[in-house]
Amino acid sequence: MALKWGLFALTALSGCHAWAAAPFVAPAVPSGSIQVMLCPTEVATPGSTRLVTFGLPLPRGSLTSTQLDTVRLLKGANEVAIFVDQLTPWRHRTNAALDGTSVRVARVQLNYSFAGTACEPVTVSWGGPPRTQTRPMLVTPRTGWHTVTTGTFVSADAVEEPDVYAVLPKEWLANGVLKGVRNVPFDASVPLTRENPATMDATQHWPGYTELDHAQKNNFFSMINEDDPAVTTLCEYKTDFDPWLYDRSSTMYALYFRSGSFKALREAVRASDFYLDHINASGYFTLKNGDAKYVYAENLAYTIWATGDTSLSPKLNAMLGALDNFNHVLPTDPGRMWTERHAAFKLLSNVIAYELNGGSAQRDKVNAIITQLERHQNGADGTIPQPAGYVDGAFYHLGSQHDNDWAAGSYGASSWMSVLLTDALLRAYLTAEDNTTAVILRRLGNFLRASVITTTAHSYDTYSGPLASPRYGVLSNGATGRVYADDVEHGLDVATGLAWSAYFADLTGQSALADQFRDTAEDLYFTYDTSVNHWVRPDGPASGVTAFRVSPWRKYGWEHRVSVGFAWAMGAGGASETIFANGFQ
């Protein structure tokens, strides 16, 4: 490729078609064990006994609910008494044999006393002999929580968190049981602490896709105002809505899923508690009341699954009600708003609701949304014209319906907003594994690829060469609807959308198309790789600004929440097929 010059040879794209046979859902592990780190917060003082509750995610088909008596927890060689129940089963919208028949997340509860202030390892096993030490009943998990008084929140914020966190290994989290897509965990060379910005700035490119690992982690510290003590320009996440767009908490969970970082997990839980406390009776986020694009159920699910606490579950119905105010069906009224972003968050939250609660009504609601998206992509029963040069795959709508980001009377679509739909459709596919959704995702790649141009008119003044860039708005004939110099800021998310379109092209027997999608995704990743250095300024803290810049704050969400499975979908996830030989079964 013209832009990559062999930089990413480690991704082994030449073998991508053989890899693409890897199942979307991780294989079952009927028996196995993992090491879980129990990490105390400040209130869990040495010698004190604390209630600990956490979720154990299991690949589909691993255990039935009647086999939960085989879940055991050992401290060294000694079995610890635990309570275990099914927190969430695996649900499936199309296959009754898979719907509710195995455990997705088991809830584990115990009492634990720490010798000191450091995290301590325990072993959790399943599928072997029944446990011999059992607690008789579940204690309300929030009994083991406290009000946060240090770090990112103070007592007046009324944010709560567990006294003790259970941190799972990144290799196990990479199975995608929680996020819904498999991923390649952080490279072992990437530390979990904030790195030296001078070193990062001096290293233009890291091998493979590890630039993403470094940046996802380093920028996280800027998001929680721990970039450098000298920084005075802070992320005002308690009062400003911008840092919450694209789901601040779920983006921190995304870091945890890839890195196994205790700090990332802790901040994700704290952020989720703050966010859900600020969901009002109408289901809206109070920092942006009335705006459906700030309504997210995803972080609620992750908090339930990570901590075993379901006390904030009643928020879900209100959020679904708020999202119902957006009509996911493409409206015929030119003045009626419709964007891919709103459609994505409505679908995502409804799929999450189905994953958590099941039920035929919620299943049918998800099915109806998918049906309408298929209808829309097919041209809305002929209401969307197909001019010469028509580009297949997008969800075209009038500029007047998209805040006039392109000509009011022209049909167009947004490249990066379409990737938000990719992310939501992936969760929907997990619950059905249906050809309809697979084809929607494959076809979307046609549009994403057509949206990409190669240009020197980009916003990176530290790089003068041409870069691949997705155009903000693209008309149905492929012409530019709107383009900005900073469209390059969407290199990673659009690359992720193309990577998944490539996966589904392989899955549906169109490997040549998959190659085209992955080639363009590689070019866009090079753009992202270049951007990381542009945004690092080692001398920034001396002027009161961050060394690892995140601007705008919402960028962290649009880049990293959707990109969890990027490397896996690109074909770099072959290692994921071997983790079970390394101690998990």
Count structural domains, the chain. 2
- pLDDT for 17 equals 43
**Cα distance between residue 378 and residue 393, in whole Å:** 8
> What is the pTM for the complete model shown?
0.95
Residues 219 and 234 in one domain: yes
Residues 267 and 241 in one domain: yes
Last residue of a domain, one of 173, 207, 242: 173
2 occurs within a structural domain: no
Instruction: Compute the C-alpha angle 376/405/453, nearest 5°.
Output: 85
Range(s) of the domain holding residue 59: 32-173
Are 64 and 93 contained in the same domain?
Answer: yes
3-state secondary structure of 576: helix
Say yes or no to pLDDT of 55 above 70: yes
Q: How confident is the model at residue 7 (pLDDT cuts 50, 70, 90)?
A: very low
Of 173, 198, 215, the last residue of a domain is 173
Question: Looking at the structure, do residues 343 and 202 belong to the same domain, yes or no?
Answer: yes
**85: pLDDT confidence band, cut at 50, 70 and 90?**
very high
Mean pLDDT of 235-257: 98
Which of 114, 139, 173 finishes a domain? 173
| The two structure tokens encoding residue 556 | 């962290």
HSE-up (13 A, CA, CB side) for residue 295: 31
Residue where the block lists tokens 């446990």: 131
* Residue 498 falls inside a structural domain: yes
Same domain, 90 and 226: no
pLDDT band at residue 6, thresholds of 50, 70 and 90?
A: very low
Task: Please check the confidence at residue 514 and state whether its pLDDT lies above 50.
Answer: yes
Residue 573's pLDDT is 58
Rg of the chain over Cα atoms, rounded to whole angstroms, equals 23
pLDDT at 580 over 90: no
> Where do runs of H (alpha helix) occur along 227-359?
248-259, 262-277, 298-307, 315-323, 340-357
Looking at the domain assignment, is residue 405 inside a domain?
yes
Kindly state the helix (H) or strand (E) to which residue 555 belongs, with its residue range. helix 555-560
Q: What is the DSSP letter of 30?
A: S
Residue 578 lies in a domain: no
Whether residue 375 is predicted with pLDDT greater than 80 in this model: the reply is yes
Query: Where residue 327 sits, what CATH number does that domain have?
Result: 1.50.10.10
Q: Give yes or no: residues 145 and 276 share one domain.
A: no
* Rounded Cα gap, residues 122 and 475, in angstroms: 56
Say if 4 falls within a structural domain.
no
* CA within 13 Å, CB half, 302: 33
> What pLDDT is recorded for position 3?
45
Asked whether the CA dihedral 473, 477, 478, 484 is positive or negative, the reply is negative
For residue 93, what is the domain's CATH number? 2.60.40
Q: Which residue has the higher pLDDT, 369 or 579?
A: 369
* Residues belonging to the chain: 585
Helix axes 210-223, 511-534, angle to 10 degrees: 50
pLDDT, tens only, 248-258? 999 999 999 99
For 480-547, the three-class secondary structure string (H helix, E strand, C coil) is EEECCHHHHHHHHHHHHHHHHHHHHHHHCCCHHHHHHHHHHHHHHHHHHHHHHHHCECCCHHHHCCCC
Percent over 90 (pLDDT), the chain: 93
474-512 confidence digits (pLDDT tens): 999 999 999 999 999 999 999 999 999 999 999 999 999
Q: How many CA atoms lie within 13 A of 139 on its CB side?
A: 13
Q: Is 413 helix (H, G, I), strand (E, B) or coil?
A: strand
Task: Identify any residues that bridge with 337 across adjacent strands, giving them in sequence order.
Answer: none
Question: Which amino acid would we find at residue 298?
Answer: E
Residue 91 lies in a domain: yes
Rounded to whole angstroms, the Cα distance separating 49 from 411 reads 62
CA distance 316 to 319: 5
Whole-angstrom distance, CA of residue 166 vs CA of residue 34 = 12
Q: Does residue 294 sit in the same domain as residue 414?
A: yes
Number of C-beta neighbours around residue 498 at 10 A: 34
What are 95-143's pLDDT values in tens digits? 999 999 999 999 999 999 999 999 999 999 999 999 999 999 999 999 9
Arithmetic mean of pLDDT over the chain: 94
> Do 469 and 553 reside in the same domain of the chain?
yes
Residue 43 in domain: yes
Per-residue pLDDT for 216 more than 70?
Answer: yes
Q: Which residues contact 430 (CB under 8 A, 6 or more apart)?
A: 24, 25, 180, 181
Over residues 428-446, the mean pLDDT reads 98
Residues 299 and 345 in one domain: yes
- DSSP H/E element including 88: strand 83-89
> Considering only CA atoms, which of 416, 368, 390 is closest in space to residue 559?
416
Q: Are residues 188 and 84 in the same domain?
A: no
Q: In whole angstroms, what is the distance from residue 429 CA to residue 423 CA?
A: 10
Let me know whether 239 and 350 are in one domain: yes
On whether both 443 and 395 belong to a single domain, the answer is yes
By the 8 A CB rule, do 162 and 143 touch?
A: no
Q: Taking residues 359-376, what's their average pLDDT?
A: 98
Alpha helices, DSSP H, located in 278-414: 298-307, 315-323, 340-357, 360-377
Residues 6+ away with beta carbon under 8 Å from 71:
56, 63, 82, 84, 106, 108, 124, 125, 126, 131
Q: Is residue 121 part of a domain?
A: yes
| 411-414 and 397-398 beta bridge pairing | antiparallel
The pLDDT tens digits of the residues spanning 298-341 come to 999 999 999 999 999 999 999 999 999 999 999 989 999 999 99
